[in-house]
Structure 1
Amino acid sequence: MSKVGKYFYPSDHALVRRLPFGLYLKSCARSGQNEAVALQLVEEYTSVPAPLWIDDYEENGNIILIMTSVRGQPLRSVFHRLSYQEREQLSKDLKTIICELRRIPNQTPYRFANTLGSALFDHRVGKFGPFIQASGFHKHLIPEHTPAETRRAVTPIHSRHHSSFFTHADINWSNIFIDQGRLVALVDWECAGYYPEYWEFTKAMYGIINDEAMEKIVRDTFDQDYTDELEVEEKLWRESPWVKHFNYRYHE
């Protein structure tokens, strides 16, 4: 099917390819089997709309995921067409999704880990963990050469108690699919795992700062106030070794 897919559905996307019969193939070199397991957990424990896991296998040292397609278009492409009522509904739909995801049990021996109990993967910080304590998780977020002033600012916030929840960890407007004004799917689960409770919010805000309309949707999605955590994350984004990636995300 892979060969047929290349012939009938040519694409320059390096990781994801369309296949016949409404399927997609994804090379999971960055996250291994994590996305496959995440999709299975989402299907087993929630009614969250997402691609369905069909199969996964190893090829040339990489995990290949086979999943179903989803309908709709990325939010990025249609956001300008959404009415105010549809935007309000989007926040409500995302809130329902996040509440359901947080009910997925953590069956790993760690508080903060991917679905297999192994290292988490994040586009900003790469692979890190797993961690039993939040202190280990937060220590990894602080680059070696972070100024002392920043360290003093982030320590009180990182020292707060944060529950661990199953988290998509990359809810951006390229991964939210919309059809006829409603959310119909959440895709790209390679970063999914068990993170501190604020992580879903701060990662959803990553890349949309200064976009007031999108910021409002994300803020209305969460009942909890994670403003302090967001301010800390913004400091670390700017001062991290991935600052070039940070600037790209902020200006795309």
Structure 2
Amino acid sequence: MYIKRGTPRPTEGAVADFVRKHTTIPVPVVLDNITIDNVTTLVLAELPGDPVEAVRAEYGMTDEQSRSLSRQISALLAQLRAIPPPSDAVSGFNNTPVHCERISIGSRPYGPWPSVAEFHAFLLTFNVQAPPDVHDKVWSSINTSHSRTHRVCLTHNDLGPQNILVDEHYNITGIVDWEAAAWMPEYWEYTKSIYLPWYRKGWWFEIMSSVFPQYQVERQADVYIRSYRERYL
């Protein structure tokens, strides 16, 4: 087993239990989850395997292994995304604020928002200032993306190769670190997973783009918002 103390949010253990109850996603078993004086201690059973990025660094990754990993991620996330949301709100797991590095430095909490439309309006409070030569293209992309109808889905919200455990054959043995999990627009799992600069191209970008080929409009809009926002909360 292993212990997370101080940094985990009180909902992380609840999310792990909820995901285990409603899916076959391999998540850590929560042995204890207590908060005293605003300090949370989370005791979890260790899962087998190592992070994808560590296994790839040691063994490399063939094209077929990449395709297999993409199929596995897609199948597991399909279960997560099939869970009915408690409401139309974009929120943390228990209708709490959302903690997300894509939104604010240090994952400072914001929200919840009553709807996806109001969440999108919040994203534009970053004051997107596109240069004149690309202004129309940028806003056309953003408006097209935000005018689409998006479901609210339970989202891991930090799905990177550091949080997916695999064996040496790239069979997924666990998905860990659920503390940022939230009810987000359906495309957010994709755009958040490739948000960090080192995941915006290359092997991880290819895998996640294969998992979510339907959200390229949303990805481009997110790129523009990220690139031309005047400030970062």
Give the TM-score normalised by the residue count of structure 1: 0.78
Q: Is the 8 A contact 2:153 2:186 kept in 1?
A: yes
Q: Is the 8 A contact 2:99 2:180 kept in 1?
A: yes
- The one-letter code sitting in structure 2 at the alignment partner of 1:155 is N
CA distance in 1, matches of 2:175, 2:14: 15
CA distance in 2, matches of 1:204, 1:218: 7
1:133 aligns with 2:115: yes
- The one-letter code sitting in structure 1 at the alignment partner of 2:73 is L
Picking from 95, 111, 119, the partner of 2:74 is 95
Matched residue, 1:123: 101
Aligned-partner SS, 2:35? strand
Residues 93, 138 of structure 1: CA spacing in aligned structure 2 closer, same or farther, 3 A cutoff?
same
Picking from 117, 121, 124, the partner of 1:142 is 124
CA distance in 2, matches of 1:92, 1:26: 34
Picking from 168, 186, 189, the partner of 1:200 is 189
Matched residue, 1:48: 25
1:186 aligns with 2:175: yes
CA distance in 2, matches of 1:114, 1:99: 20
Q: Is the 8 A contact 1:38 1:193 kept in 2?
A: no
Residues 225, 77 of structure 1: CA spacing in aligned structure 2 closer, same or farther, 3 A cutoff?
same
Correspondence 1:154-193 to 2 at 5 A: 154-181=142-169, 182-193=171-182
Aligned-partner SS, 1:119? coil
- In terms of fraction of residues, the more strand-rich structure is 1
Matched residue, 2:209: 219
Aligned-partner SS, 2:99? strand
Q: 1:197-223, CA deviations, whole angstroms, 9 ceiling, x for partnerless residues?
A: 111111122221121x2222112223x
**What's the offset of the Cα at 1:229?**
0.4
- The one-letter code sitting in structure 1 at the alignment partner of 2:97 is A
Picking from 62, 65, 72, the partner of 2:49 is 72
Structure 1: which 5+ residue stretches go unaligned? 1-21, 244-252
Picking from 25, 40, 61, the partner of 1:82 is 61
CA distance in 2, matches of 1:167, 1:69: 22
Matched residue, 2:89: 111
CA distance in 2, matches of 1:151, 1:83: 39
CA distance in 2, matches of 1:60, 1:186: 29
Matched residue, 1:9: none
Q: 1:5-45, CA deviations, whole angstroms, 9 ceiling, x for partnerless residues?
A: xxxxxxxxxxxxxxxxx23224346xx32212210111110
**What's the offset of the Cα at 1:110?**
4.6
Q: Is the 8 A contact 1:110 1:130 kept in 2?
A: no
Percent identity of equivalent pairs:
23
Matched residue, 1:3: none
Q: Is the 8 A contact 1:110 1:117 kept in 2?
A: no
Between the two proteins, the alignment pairs up a number of residues equal to: 217
Picking from 197, 200, 204, the partner of 1:209 is 200
**What's the offset of the Cα at 1:116?**
0.7
Q: More relative contact order in 1 or in 2 (CA 8 Å, sep 6+)?
A: 2
CA distance in 2, matches of 1:122, 1:146: 19
Picking from 189, 204, 221, the partner of 1:232 is 221
Aligned-partner SS, 2:204? helix
Structure 2: which 5+ residue stretches go unaligned? none
Q: Is the 8 A contact 1:50 1:185 kept in 2?
A: yes
Residues 234, 116 of structure 1: CA spacing in aligned structure 2 closer, same or farther, 3 A cutoff?
same
Aligned-partner SS, 1:189? coil
